[in-house]
Structure formats: structure tokens, C-alpha cells
Structure 1
Amino acid sequence: MGERIRFHLDENVDPAIGLGLRRYGIDVTTTNDVELRTQSDEVQLVFIQETQRVLFTQDADFLIIASSRLDHPGITYCKKGTRSIGEIIETLVLIYEVMTPEEMVGRVEFVSNESSSERRCLRRATPTHCKSMLLIGDRFL
């Protein structure tokens, strides 16, 4: 297997999400882990670029940043309060399983409202099939 996605969770993310991802063996850092709490979004962006980590955030400011530049290693976003911690973890695990770091460069993936049966279907599908069905907003690609 090739290189795997590594995530960075900003300070707006519940720490339980990092713990859940680590239980799946996923390499995760948090803003607190790397002592970037209260640092600007630009400093966070520099960190993910230097370490080649995909950012998971619930801060819409990163969507504005991502719309103006494509040189980031990838951003995953979920509006706070719209998904449970378990749903967020499931979706990030799915992204980890079917995407490569190279495929995430310059992309923004939204944690959306697909049902758990759709997530199970995607997990059973081949990686190529899953990639074509990743969610953007509330629609499958």
C-alpha cells in the first residue's frame, strides 16, 4: 500500500474525534498536540503544508482560505453541530481508506449527511468505486 493520509485537527474540533481516529491506527495531530492553540489560521495552514497533513476543521474560515489557494494538502470540513462525533469519525476513516495524500492536494471534502447504510455500501465497494462516490456537500460525485 502506498502513502496514507495523515490528519491534523484544529482547535475547533472535539478531541474525541482525534481519539477515535487513533483507534483506527490513523496518524493524527491536534492543535493542542503541536502547541498551535490560539495561533492564526495562516499559521495552521503553514503547519499542514510543512507536515503534509490533511486538515479537519469545523471553522468555515478555512473554506475561504481554500477557495483562494490550491497549494494546501487538503481540507475536510463539517459545520459544527450538524454531525455526531461517530459520523465524523466514520467519514474521515472512509476518506483515509479510499484517498491518497496526492489526491487530496488542493481539495476540500465536506462531511455530509449520507446515511450509515450508504457509508457501509461505500466501504464494501472497491477503492476506485468509492473515490467516484465521495461526497461534496450533500451530493455524491
Structure 2
Amino acid sequence: MRVYADENVWLPVVEGLRRRGWDVTTVYDEGTVRDSDREHLERATRNGWLVLTFDDDFLSLVAADENAERAGIVYVGQYGKEVGELVRRVDAALRRNRDRDLVGEIVYA
């Protein structure tokens, strides 16, 4: 599963996930940093990627379009957490769901 990290995900978290073997691309890697949340979600959906975000705006976006087919989302609130904890939480969420089709789902890490 390829994970698409939006601009709110700290790069050290991305690097930590990559060190744990996850295939993570970022908005910086893809040259899409100025795109809207909707455009990020649409890109991930087209490519079959899972969106990783710290941005709760994605949750509102999904709630407004609850019947639309879309990429799965892994959401984690970063406030009060250190990089290591965030990496562990996301890694654990990805491992728990490794064998599941997460299309259209929100996973809270």
C-alpha cells in the first residue's frame, strides 16, 4: 500500500515510516504542495493511495462527501506528541490494517 502524506505531516514522521518499510510519498515528492485538500484526496483516490494527514479538515471534507468513493485516510492528531510517538501510532495503524481494503475508510492512529 502506498501512503500519500499531505503537507501537514512532519517530514521526520515520513522518514520514520520509510525506515519501517512503508512506501510513503509526500506532496513535496509529487510536486503538489499547493493543491487543495480536495485535490489531494482526488489524486490519492485515482492512484489507489492511502492519505496520511494530521489535518482534521480532511475529516470535514469526507463528512461533506460521505457517499463519494474515495481513498482511505489515516488521521492522527499531532498536538502534544513527539515524532517517535507519531511514527509508532501510524505504523501500528498501518500494520493493523495491512490486509484490509481501506478505500472509503478513516483510520485513527
Please report the TM-score for the alignment, with normalisation by the length of structure 1: 0.68
Matches of 1:72 and 1:102 in 2, distance apart?
15
Structure 1, unaligned runs of 5 or more: 112-141
Aligned to 1:18: 14
Matches of 2:38 and 2:99 in 1, distance apart?
21
Contact 1:75 1:109 in 2 (8 A): yes
Aligned to 1:95: 93
Aligned to 1:63: 59
Matched residue SS, 1:103: coil
Q: Report percent identity of matched pairs.
A: 28
1:31 is displaced (CA, Å) by: 0.5
Q: Which moved more, 1:34-43 or 1:73-82?
A: 73-82
Contact 1:8 1:29 in 2 (8 A): yes
Structure 2, unaligned runs of 5 or more: none
Determine whether 1:35 maps to 2:28.
Answer: no
1:96 is displaced (CA, Å) by: 2.2
- In structure 2, give the amino acid aligned to 1:84: E
1:102 is displaced (CA, Å) by: 4.4
Runs (4+) off by over 2 Å: 100-103
Matches of 1:57 and 1:13 in 2, distance apart?
6
1:2-33 CA-to-partner distances (Å, cap 9, x unmatched) read xxx32111001110011001101110000100
Contact 1:73 1:101 in 2 (8 A): no
Pick 1 or 2: higher relative contact order, CA cutoff 8 A, min separation 6. 2
Aligned to 1:136: none
What is the aligned length?
Answer: 107
The structure with the larger Rg is: 1
1:82 is displaced (CA, Å) by: 3.3
Aligned to 1:85: 83
Q: Which moved more, 1:40-49 or 1:98-107?
A: 98-107
1:101 is displaced (CA, Å) by: 6.5
